[in-house]
């Protein structure tokens, strides 16, 4: 129950009750189907109510849920084949970003994704998805390879931000991110970016420039984490819920602001409740987007990619 | 990415006083010895400059034509922390007499025409919101259309939190414009001044063809306080200073404020072939130092 979020308590209690009822029915051979069906209907209603009324901060909590599907789950669930390529050709293999060739419905793509890890050991190895410069350089190396081979690029974004450390600074964290952003405007193949969990600032954008940028319903994309923002502007990390609301970092707000092109639906009760359904939704989106983007002439694709970002943000010139 | 700005740029000199205390070495500097470059004669510490002071110091006298000076922020998020963003912006405008954290225009430096952008740390920590992003982007497009070298003086705490993901996307917008400019042969010099961090460092500041830094400037992706808190250890001496970045291969040259005009005019001459680099600025600098005097 470690993973429990306070606002999920009524849902978890009912789920537990249904489990008990089913177990009771099994052990006693009593027919409790009617009761179970009624409870399940109520569970759906309660879950819907809770999830329709999530605050921005609660959505951030959902986006970080330990059972939420991460890049590895999408790799396993979407692609028939995945061939990882590790090398950044200059310093080392950053586990926080995974790159490789992948096959989706017999179509070849290049996959780039933040890797948060599943087990505790894995998470530590991946720095919880906070990449170093070598991770961004690996991504750029492989994206250029994809361009050469004419393969579309799929980026799965899930990071709180690029790693803030001594080595990262020494090896040019800022430059690595900046270069990726600039070069992604030049790549002559379709790029699809999906924020699957956390879209944390420059660390996210470093693999986030795309012809299509989508976000899962409970994921977020922000200039800074709510905790970081609260610490600076409210002088207290406890004000993260206020900061999350002020930053307008939730999917519907981002869509309204023109930051993302599309919101990918999550199952009732969040991605962590039905990972397979979530992964299928992402797969459907990917196939549809690949069809659309691969049909476009390259020049038109690049021009539209630039114009999309060029138009972000209004100014007053009166 | 974004960081606070209150720790930087506090002016400790006393207006009208005869003496100014150096922020770095605490030497009392006699006002008459404190030239327009605002460099401590004792330790060579470079004091902060406002965008206007920078333009005056850097451009040939009377050559600067400002562009898009009226451009103002739209509070698209209706952001409010302990005070509302709209109020904060209005107060900052009143206080600084500037509309935003960036001044752009066409300028001449030692006779060399260029597109010039200067960030102003005094305006909300030089933070990049939509206006800064839009001005940089337009300046890049202007340099492209007019076939001019592009020079940007950076000074920023990072992206402006009050404009949320819209600020973040200015990193993409500016880099997208630079990609087009540079791919067509455009020449771009960025000058990193104290401090340049966060989303500005992680975007247009770091993709220049030549990257210069002022002595002692703090330059980095994450702010030192964030790194210290993450690692729970003290940072090495000189960490993230210009000299450290030079040693790590992240910048091309450290240039004293007194040499910036000549260095940049020379770089432009090398890039464009508009003048003989060997003779650029020689006559001028010998004649009396770079105080915004006559060019060519």
Is 60 exceeded by the pLDDT of residue B55? Answer: yes
Q: Domain of A24?
A: 6-53
Walk along chain A (318 residues) in steps of 10 and give the mean pLDDT of each run: 77 94 91 91 96 96 97 98 97 98 98 95 94 98 98 98 96 98 98 98 98 98 96 93 98 98 97 98 98 98 98 96
Please check whether residue B77 lies inside any domain of the structure. Answer: yes
Q: What is the CATH number of the domain that holds A290?
A: 3.90.226.10
pLDDT at B7 over 60: no
Same structural domain for residues A28 and A79? no
- Return the higher-pLDDT residue of B17 and A253: A253
- Is A316 a domain residue? no
Residue B120, in any domain of the structure: yes
Residue B76 contacts residue B27 (beta carbons within 8 Å): no
B48, pLDDT greater than 80 = yes
Q: Are residues A151 and A42 in the same domain?
A: no
* Domain annotation covers residue A95: yes
| Phi-psi label, residue A201: left if phi above 0, alpha if psi -120 to 50, beta otherwise | left
Residue B1 has pLDDT above 50, yes or no: no
Domain count, chain A: 2
Same domain, A236 and A135: yes
Does the residue B286 lie in any domain?
A: no
- Domain with B253, as residue range(s), is 49-279
Q: Contacts of residue A233 in chain B, CB cutoff 8 Å?
A: 81-82, 161
CB contact under 8 A, A178 and B172: no
Q: B145 falls in which pLDDT band (50, 70, 90)? A: very high
Kindly tell me if the per-residue pLDDT of B17 is higher than 90.
no
Question: Which residue has 């808190």 as its token pair?
Answer: B229
Alpha-carbon Rg for chain A, nearest whole angstrom, is 21
Q: Is A72 helix (H, G, I), strand (E, B) or coil?
A: helix
Mind telling me how many Å the CA of A205 is from chain B's nearest CA? Answer: 8
Residue B26 lies in a domain: no
Beta strands in chain A (DSSP E): 81-84, 97-104, 107-114, 153-159, 191-200, 212-216, 220-222, 262-264, 315-316
- Indicate if A64 and A49 belong to the same structural domain: no
| Span B159-179, average pLDDT | 98
* Among the partner residues A178, A185, A313, nearest to B206 by beta-carbon distance: A178
Distance CA B144, CA B172 (A): 18
The reply to whether A43 and A84 lie within a common domain is: no
**Tokens at residue A32, please?**
């409790």
Token readout for A153 is 């690029």
In a domain, B17, yes or no: no
pLDDT in tens, B255-296: 999 999 999 999 999 999 999 999 997 755 444 444 444 333
Residues A66 and A127 both lie in one domain: yes
What is the per-residue pLDDT for A296?
A: 98
Does A94 lie in the same domain as A17?
A: no
Shared domain for A136 and A257, answered yes or no, is: yes
pLDDT of B57 above 80: yes
Q: Assess whether A98 and A36 both reside in one domain.
A: no
pLDDT of residue A156: 98
Is residue A317 in a domain?
no
At B119, phi and psi to the nearest 5?
-85, 150
> Is the CB of residue A112 less than 8 Å from the CB of residue A137?
no
Least CA distance to A160: which residue of chain B?
B1
User: How many domains does the structure of chain B reveal?
Assistant: 1
A293: closest CA among A176, A212, A201?
A212
**Do A305 and A172 reside in the same domain of the chain?**
yes
Q: Could you tell me if A236 and A154 lie in one domain? A: yes
Q: What is the pLDDT of residues B190-234, one digit of tens each?
A: 999 999 999 999 999 999 999 999 999 999 999 998 899 888 889
Instruction: List CB contacts (< 8 A) between B220 and chain A.
Output: 169, 173-174
Q: Answer whether B241 touches A (CB < 8 Å).
A: no
Q: What is the mean pLDDT of chain B?
A: 91
Same domain, A137 and A238: yes
The predicted pLDDT at position B244 comes to 97
Nearest Cα to Cα of residue B156 among B229, B220, B99:
B220
Min distance A131 CA to chain B CA atoms (Å): 13
Q: What is the CATH number of the domain that holds B217?
A: 3.90.226.10
CB contact under 8 Å between A243 and B81, yes or no, is yes
Quick one: CA torsion of A204, A155, A128, B196, rounded to 10 degrees? -20
| CB contacts, 8 Å: B179 with chain A | 182-183, 185-186
Count of other CB atoms within 10 angstroms of residue B227 = 21
- Supply the pLDDT for residue A141: 98
Q: Give me the pLDDT at residue B31, please.
A: 86
So what's the pLDDT on residue B170? 98
| B195 contacts chain A (CB < 8 A) | no
- Residues with Cβ within 8 Å of B232's Cβ and at least 6 positions away in sequence, in order, are none
CB contacts under 8 A, A 215-244 vs B, are: 221-224, 228-229, 232-234, 242-243
Q: What is residue B284's predicted lDDT score, i.e. its pLDDT?
A: 54
Cis peptide before B159 (omega within 30 of 0): no
Phi, psi of A249 (to 5 degrees): -95, 0
pLDDT at B14: 52
Residue B9 scores a pLDDT above 50: no
């Amino acid at each position: 129950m470690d993973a429990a979020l306070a606002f999920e308590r009524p849902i978890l209690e009912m789920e537990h009750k249904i489990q008990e009822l089913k177990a009771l029915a099994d052990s006693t051979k009593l027919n409790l189907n009617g009761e179970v069906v009624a409870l399940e209907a109520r569970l759906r209603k309660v879950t819907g109510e809770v999830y329709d009324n999530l605050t921005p901060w609660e959505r951030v909590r959902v986006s970080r849920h330990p059972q939420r599907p991460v890049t590895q789950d999408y790799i396993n669930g979407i692609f028939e084949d995945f061939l990882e390529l590790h090398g950044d050709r200059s310093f080392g293999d950053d586990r926080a970003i995974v790159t490789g060739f992948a096959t989706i419905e017999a179509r070849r793509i290049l996959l780039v994704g933040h890797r948060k890890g599943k087990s505790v050991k894995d998470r530590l190895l991946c720095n919880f998805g906070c990449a170093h410069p070598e991770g961004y350089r690996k991504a750029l190396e492989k994206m250029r390879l994809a361009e050469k081979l004419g393969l579309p690029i799929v980026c799965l974004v899930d990071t709180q931000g690029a790693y803030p450390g001594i080595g990262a600074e020494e090896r040019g964290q800022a430059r690595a991110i900046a270069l990726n952003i600039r070069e992604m405007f030049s790549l002559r193949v379709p790029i699809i970016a999906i924020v699957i969990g956390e879209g944390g600032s420059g660390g996210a954008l470093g693999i986030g420039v795309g012809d299509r940028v989508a976000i899962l319903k409970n994921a977020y994309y922000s200039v800074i984490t709510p905790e970081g923002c609260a610490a600076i502007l409210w002088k207290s990390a406890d004000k993260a819920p206020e900061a999350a609301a002020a930053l307008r970092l939730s999917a519907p707000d981002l869509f309204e602001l023109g930051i993302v092109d599309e919101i990918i639906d999550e199952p009732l009760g969040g991605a962590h409740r039905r990972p397979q359904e979530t992964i299928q939704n992402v797969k459907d989106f990917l196939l549809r987007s690949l069809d659309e983007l691969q049909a476009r002439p390259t020049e038109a694709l690049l021009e539209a990619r630039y114009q999309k970002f060029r138009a972000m943000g209004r100014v007053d010139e009166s | 990415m974004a960081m606070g700005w209150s720790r930087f740029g506090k002016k400790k000199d006393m207006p009208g006083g005869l003496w100014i205390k150096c922020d770095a070495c605490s030497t009392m500097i006699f006002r008459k010895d404190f030239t327009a470059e605002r460099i401590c004669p004792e330790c060579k510490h470079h004091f902060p400059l406002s965008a206007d002071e920078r333009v005056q110091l850097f451009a040939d006298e009377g050559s600067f034509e400002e562009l898009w000076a009226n451009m103002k922020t739209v509070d698209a998020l209706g952001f409010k922390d302990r005070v509302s963003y709209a109020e904060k912006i209005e107060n900052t405008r009143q206080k600084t007499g500037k509309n935003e954290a960036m001044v752009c225009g066409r300028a001449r430096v030692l006779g060399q025409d260029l597109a010039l952008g200067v960030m102003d740390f005094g305006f909300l920590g030089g933070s990049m919101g939509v206006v800064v992003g839009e001005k940089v982007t337009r300046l890049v497009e202007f340099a492209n259309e007019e076939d001019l070298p592009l020079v940007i003086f950076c000074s920023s705490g990072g992206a402006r939190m009050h404009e949320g993901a819209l600020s973040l996307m200015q990193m993409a917008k500016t880099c997208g414009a630079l990609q087009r400019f540079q791919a067509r042969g455009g020449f771009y010099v960025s000058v990193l001044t104290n401090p340049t961090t966060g989303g500005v460092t992680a975007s247009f500041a770091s993709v220049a063809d030549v990257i210069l830094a002022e002595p002692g400037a703090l330059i980095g992706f994450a702010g030192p306080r964030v790194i210290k808190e993450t690692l729970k250890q003290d940072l090495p001496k000189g960490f993230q200073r210009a000299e450290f970045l030079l040693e790590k291969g992240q910048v091309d040259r450290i240039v004293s404020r007194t040499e910036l005009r000549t260095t940049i005019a020379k770089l432009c001459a090398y890039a464009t072939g508009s003048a003989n680099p060997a003779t650029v600025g020689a006559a001028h600098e010998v004649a009396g130092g770079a105080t915004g005097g006559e060019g060519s």
